[in-house]
Amino acid sequence: MDELAFRIPQFYEALSVVPPAPNSSAAEDETYWSSVRKLYLVSNRPVNLENGFWGTMAEPVKDMFHYWIDRVNYENTLLIRPHWPRLLDGLRHSVATALGCGDDEIVLTRGATEAMQALIGGYNRLRPGDEVMYADLDYPAMRDAMQWLRIRRQVVPVEVSIPEPASRTAVLDAYAEALRQHPGTKLVLLSHVCFGTGLVMPVREISALAQHAGADVIVDAAHAWGQMDFSAPDLGAPYAAFNLHKWIGAPLGCGCLYIRRDALTAIDPFMGDHQYRETDIRSRVHTGAPNFAAWLTIPAALDVHRHIGPRQKEWRLRKLRNDWAIPARQLPNLDIQTPDDPSMVAGITSFRLHGHGSMEACQAIVTRLRDVHGVHTVHRAGPAKGNVVRVTPSIATLPEDMARLLAGLRALSGEALDIPH
């Protein structure tokens, strides 16, 4: 065995419990998903429907992580100093291949937030008085970064409120109108899967609208890769950031930054970085010493992702979402935050009780679902019309877990709750 190989033989033995992914009807194939579930050791007390913060590693991936922790700790710089350049090249190649882009268009980061801040802060095509656009559903740290450009670049931030209820046409119309009203827009922040509600934006179409209006787009795909099946070029945007520790299943501390080859010069080298040439994407972010063991586990996580099936994962997560969201839409006093259009939703969907959009109200609902109904969810802020409660299954989630949530929502919608508005 190559001592620098990213997988050990035991990894493939552990993965063999899962048969090849079915090509059709995978979402409903409980026999297949039962075999997938054997890869995951997770707590279900209470049922965890807050899998959006980060993803659980499959047991074979966790074993590879422990393998690399032991090696990095034991060999220390004897491993990293002579071999890291070769190892890092292999890691970048693995990620670029999985994303369908060139190795020279990818640089690893510790997460999507680090990558997004490097892109937003480094974008150098803005001039004083230009406008930069973001939405109420974008991640708070990214909204903050866009607002900070007022100081850094002397530009004017513009916020778009995404319509509720959302639809493909309504979202596209909202961006088209915002770009029409703000012809000075030169940069658009766009979430692929909105972190708070789970709404899937028509990224490629909005990117085309922005490009036609003379603006570049930075895509926050933190929640998208692994929850949905796509490639980086599919986004139609020159810049994007991804997590590997959410839906790909790598250890915490793994992400990457994508810059389309022809768009590199619009992002400054990070704080004057001279470690790499200006023509090298790696000069656009300076991570320092990463968690070597976590990064070295990325190829194993990608192997599991491919073995289960990217498209099959997307189908399954959407099926689990539909199990509760479609019937819950018929309940009184419950506002579901994503449409049932499969192009606009994947696994994540949020809700609020009608008229109860305060932080206190949503936190009270989270507490009641956990303490009374045995279901763990999370409160999320951001939408212009009020806070929400986010529901996020994983591929290890059982259909009966979604049934438990639905029973809890039926009870909540019919109760006279003593919660703040």
**Of 18-27, 46-55, 369-378, which gets the smallest average pLDDT?**
18-27
* Residue 223 contacts residue 193 (beta carbons within 8 Å): yes
Tokens standing for residue 193: 């899967």
* Angle between helix 77-99 and 59-75 (nearest 10): 150
DSSP 85: H
d(CA 164, CA 136): 12
Mean pLDDT of 27-49: 94
Residue type, 374: G
pTM: 0.95
Cα gap 53→55, rounded to integer Å: 7
Task: Provide the 3-class DSSP secondary structure of residue 409.
Answer: helix
pLDDT band at 418 (very low <50, low <70, confident <90, very high): low
Beginning with the edge strand found earlier in the chain, give each strand of the sheet holding 131-135 in spatial order: 106-109, 255-259, 239-243, 216-221, 185-191, 131-135, 156-160
Cβ atoms of 103 and 94 within 8 Å: the answer is: no
3-state secondary structure string across 16-33: CCCCCCCCCCHHHCHHHH
- Rg value, the chain, Cα: 22
Helices (H), 19-123: 30-37, 59-75, 77-99, 112-122
Rounded Cα distance between 89 and 81, Å, is: 14
User: Confidence class of residue 417 from pLDDT cuts 50, 70 and 90?
Assistant: low
pLDDT, average across residues 33-54 = 96
Per-residue pLDDT at 1 exceeds 80: no
> Cβ distance 262 to 53 under 8 Å?
no
| 416 pLDDT higher than 60 | no
Residue environment code for 205-239, b if the CB has 16+ CB neighbours within 10 A, otherwise e = ebbebbeebebbbbbbbbbbbbbbbbebbebbbbb
**Which domains are delineated in the chain?**
86-302 (3.40.640.10), 311-414 (3.90.1150.10)
**Residue range 244-297, pLDDT digits in tens:** 999 999 999 999 999 999 999 999 999 988 899 999 999 999 999 999 999 999
Alpha carbons 16 and 326: distance in angstroms, whole number: 35
Cα diameter, the chain:
66
Closest by CA position to 36, among listed 54, 53, 56, 51: 56
Q: What is the pLDDT of residues 9-22, one digit of tens each?
A: 888 888 888 888 88
Section 309-332 average pLDDT: 97
Q: Cβ–Cβ contacts within 10 Å for residue 51, how many?
A: 24
Q: What is the pLDDT of residue 163?
A: 96
